[in-house]
Amino acid sequence: MHSLVIVESPAKAKTIRKYLGSGFEVKASMGHIRDLFPTKLSVDVNHDFEPAYTVIKGKEKLLQELRDAAAKSDRVFLATDPDREGEAISWHLATLLGLDLNQKNRVKFNEINKRSVLAGIANPSEIDVDLVNAQQARRILDRLVGYKLSPFISQKIRRGLSAGRVQSVALRLIVDREEEIAAFKPEEYWTIGAVMYAPPAKRQIKAEFVGDENGKIDLHNEEETNAILARLEDAAYSVKSVKKGVRSRTPAPPFITSTLQQEASKQLGFTAKRTMRIAQELYEGVEVEGVGSVGLITYMRTDSLRISEESRADGNAYIREQYGERYLPEKPRYYKSKANAQDGHEAIRPTTVSLTPEAVKSSLTGEQHRLYTLIWRRFIASLMANSVQDTVKAEIIAEQEGRDGYILFAASGYSVRFDGYTALYDDAAEEAGAALPEMKDGNRIKLRDLNPEQHFTQPPQRYTEASLIKMLEETGVGRPSTYATILSTIVDREYVTRQSKKSLAPTELGVAITHLLEEKFPKIVNTKFTAGMEADLDKIEAGGYDYVKMLHSFYDEFEETLKKAKSSMEGVKIQLAEDVTDIPCEKCGAMMVVKVSRYGKFLACPNYPACQCTKPFVKPTEGKCPVCGGDCVSKKTRHGRVFYGCSNYPDCRFMTWDTPTAETCPKCGKTLFRSRGNKLKCLDENCGYSATGNKKENEG
């Protein structure tokens, strides 16, 4: 018997092929093979949102290969990813290949190893139509919003803009935060720190002013602070109370998609898109020396904290062998997933615990190894015993002779009684405070230094990718599988820029889009409304909600809102300050503005149609033309490839693919250009200077 197995990627096909052996042919669909038409709405809003699908351009030959392979096979298994998108890909494949949707030909596995693959093949199921309908509903919703709303904002602000059902909410969160920062008014406050010691011990004690005999005191200005300092002159210090305790720290659960993206951003500096790309590679399979092609982690799109008992046993065995029995908790630890979590997959974990980061390092790229190390350590640590710390909190009073009352300081510290899981993975910054010296009530304390300090309250911080993902997750906007796409979209379209320290700041364009949507389409950028739609999609997936009914409930109101917006803004155009240049129009003198056509940006007179003067839009660089000394400008071919030419074109026809730099040639003083091979060179044909790294070559 000959069987065909269809997966999504060549890497996954290669890994699975070695587990199945003879009798099985494994082919890749290369992701989706059919989708909505790219150049039209492809959704019949008058007939219950019937979608019109077409084979994706360029995949016709692949589809024919799959049809030929299916025709000569006794059985076809659809082994695409185990989520909504994967289910939809299988459904499209089944339809295109003429398979019976009632036949059990759908294969799922959460991890790609021999045991899981063989178990999946042995236990196929029917395609889950509810899961497919949930994916279709999401795809149609996104198409309706994108194709109806994007032309509107493009017409009112700038050609070529897009609005997305979820990306618009993410953008609004960033814009709202920026406006909070701009409106923030700092308030003054003061603190008084003290450095002390408890004779005969010389160990330093760091304490903070708390208040006085009447309770806590907040210091708002220098005058209030000086009043406290006056009460501390020549004061005697002593211990008022010492409280000892024990605290236990529990390890964080294994990763889900959102927490993996957050932690990879914080610890490794990876964008969400980069994290998901690397995780996909680790899931689908890599060549490990001495093992062969193997999937190193379980499926990376999940919001469930569940792990299999088999993986728990493997992890426990590793901990027992490497650390000892006491590093295991008395009872197995089970983490509870969020109420709206989809429990179809496990948490993200290594498929084979014995394949430690050290064991596979030589077989992975640097970024693969860093991410795998993060996943592996987090999983093992989640199974380990708690960390136990001994804590001490001391109250220290300062009293002036002959004066009633006292000034109160507080100091705290800890020492580690048992490191537990932190021996492998410390997932939280320790609280400030080293171990305090032994003290008892009434002990005399010596003061070394007082440090009054002025502070001002700080505005809220801009979102980073990690904190924005956390907010999207908390508000129920989007799903873990969509976060990376959302973030890359708003950055790529220049609605948001990445600042220093990985923070996200909206551009003027992003602010303008958000304000327009807030005014005319408030529900589109409302977090609760968008989260409610996500909840409806979950209901469709569970079989409890008709997806056509859900689409009607959204679109009927949306269409009416769009009509009102078009009517109220007829003839209105929003001009962005960033689009106004300092280049005067050659005909009327008005400052030209940046416009966008299907071929890219160009300069146009703002007095159009009275004045129809236009000019090419060129982006200046740091370099000068080596031929005539004019500005070197960045241009694009009709296919979008960047090249560099002279601003005096067509009088000067210099052009190059090499990138101009701010550095000058040590021989002739002209601009140096950097080639793709990272070679600096002078493009003056009479000079010929070049340099690679620190090695300099004086040619000619």
The model's pLDDT over 457-507, given as tens digits with 9 standing for 90+, comes to: 999 999 999 999 999 999 989 888 889 999 999 998 989 999 877 899 999
pTM, rounded to two decimals: 0.80
The residues spanned by each domain of the chain are 3-127, 138-183+468-568, 188-250+388-456, 257-382
What percent of the chain has pLDDT above 70? 96
The model's pLDDT over 414-440, given as tens digits with 9 standing for 90+, comes to: 999 999 999 998 766 554 457 889 999
The model's pLDDT over 138-180, given as tens digits with 9 standing for 90+, comes to: 999 999 999 999 999 999 998 888 998 999 999 999 999 999 9
The CATH number of 188-250+388-456, from 2.70.20.10, 3.30.360.10, 3.30.230.10, 3.40.50.80, is: 2.70.20.10
Domain 188-250+388-456 and domain 257-382, same fold? Reply is: no
What tokens does 122 get? 């042995």
What topology does CATH give the domain 257-382? Topoisomerase I; domain 4 (1.10.290)
H helices present in 157-237, as ranges: 167-183, 222-231
What tokens does 603 get? 């300069």
Q: Which residues are the active-site residues?
A: 299
The C-alpha angle 387, 392, 393, rounded to 5 degrees, equals 130
The model's pLDDT over 546-587, given as tens digits with 9 standing for 90+, comes to: 999 999 999 999 999 999 999 999 988 888 876 788 788 888
Please report the pLDDT score of residue 426 as a whole number: 79
* Spatial separation of the C-alpha atoms in residues 677 and 201, rounded to whole Å: 62
Domain made up of 3-127: CATH architecture: 3-Layer(aba) Sandwich (3.40)
* Spatial separation of the C-alpha atoms in residues 66 and 37, rounded to whole Å: 21
The model's pLDDT over 29-66, given as tens digits with 9 standing for 90+, comes to: 999 999 999 989 999 999 999 999 999 999 999 999 99
Bridging pattern class, strands 75-78 and 3-7: parallel
What percent of the chain has pLDDT above 90? 72
Q: How far apart are the first and last CA of the chain?
A: 70
What topology does CATH give the domain 138-183+468-568? Topoisomerase I; domain 2 (1.10.460)
* Spatial separation of the C-alpha atoms in residues 171 and 511, rounded to whole Å: 8
Of 516, 488, 510, 498, the closest CA to residue 462 belongs to 498
Bridging pattern class, strands 671-674 and 659-664: antiparallel
For residues 236-255, average pLDDT: 95
